[in-house]
Each structure stands twice: as C-alpha cells, then as structure tokens.
Amino acid sequence: MTGADLPLWAAWLVSVLAVTGAAFSLTGAIGLVRLKTFYERVHAPTLGATLGMALILCGSMLLLSMLEGRLVLRDALIGLFLTVTTPVTLLLLARAAAHRDRHEGNPDAPPKP
C-alpha cells in the first residue's frame, strides 16, 4: 500500500493524532516562555516528552502499520527510551538548581528534604 491508497478514516486519524501531539509539544514550549520561575518552567517541556510524544508515536505506528500491511510496533521503543531517560535530565537540572539556590540563599530556594 502506498500513501495514496490510505483509507480516508486512517488519514484523518493519523493527522489528528500528529497535530494534537504537536499542539501539546507547542504548549510545553510556550510554557517555557510564559512561566516565571525555574521550577515552574521545568514542568512545561514534559508535555512534549509524555502526551505529545505518545500521540505522535501512535499516529506514526498507525500510519506505518497501514502502509506496510502488518502491525509495526518499532516506534514504541522510542517512547520507552524517552520515558526512561527524561527523568535523568530533569532530575539533574532540578538538583543543580536546588543546589545553586540554597548556596546563594535565594528566597525561593527549596527547603531541605
């Protein structure tokens, strides 16, 4: 099957999944600009790394499965590895910020755990 033979419902579903996922990722990017403090900002990009990523990958898996005429689950690995590795980056960022804020005695520094 080529792209031109894709049934209309599948084309719509893939488009809706991809655009909704992209919209969540964009919202996360807007959050980086709009939110005020560092700790608030770190929440924003996780939108793209969780639901945004999941929706886009579902769209991609559906499209590839339809085109190749069999179940293609390869993209799920992208989701798995993103999910497992994102916390490492966020944890390092949060730890570094907490250390700096405490060291400089900033008023919004996190309390000791």
Partner 1 sequence: MRAALPYPLLSAALALTWLLLNAPPTPGQLVLALLVGLAIPHVMRALRPRSVRLRAPGRLARLGIIVLYDMLRSNIDVARVILGLRRGTRRTGFVAIPLDLREPFGITILAIILTATPGTLWVQYDSDTGRLLMHVLDLTDGDAWVRRVKDRYERPLMEIFA
Residues that bind partner 1 (CB under 8 A): 24, 27-28, 30-31, 34-35, 37, 39-40, 42-44, 46-47, 50-51, 70, 72-74, 76-77, 83-84, 86-87, 90-91, 94-95, 98, 110-113
Radius of gyration of the chain (CA): 19
* Interior/surface letters 87-105, b for 16+ CB within 10 angstroms, e for the rest: eeeeeeeeeebbeebeeee
19/43 with CB nearer partner 1: 43
> What is the smallest separation between the CB atom of 110 and partner 1, expressed in angstroms?
5
> What is the smallest separation between the CB atom of 113 and partner 1, expressed in angstroms?
4
Structure tokens at 56: 């886009």
31/59 with CB nearer partner 1: 31
| Residue 19 near residue 67 (C-beta atoms within 8 A) | no
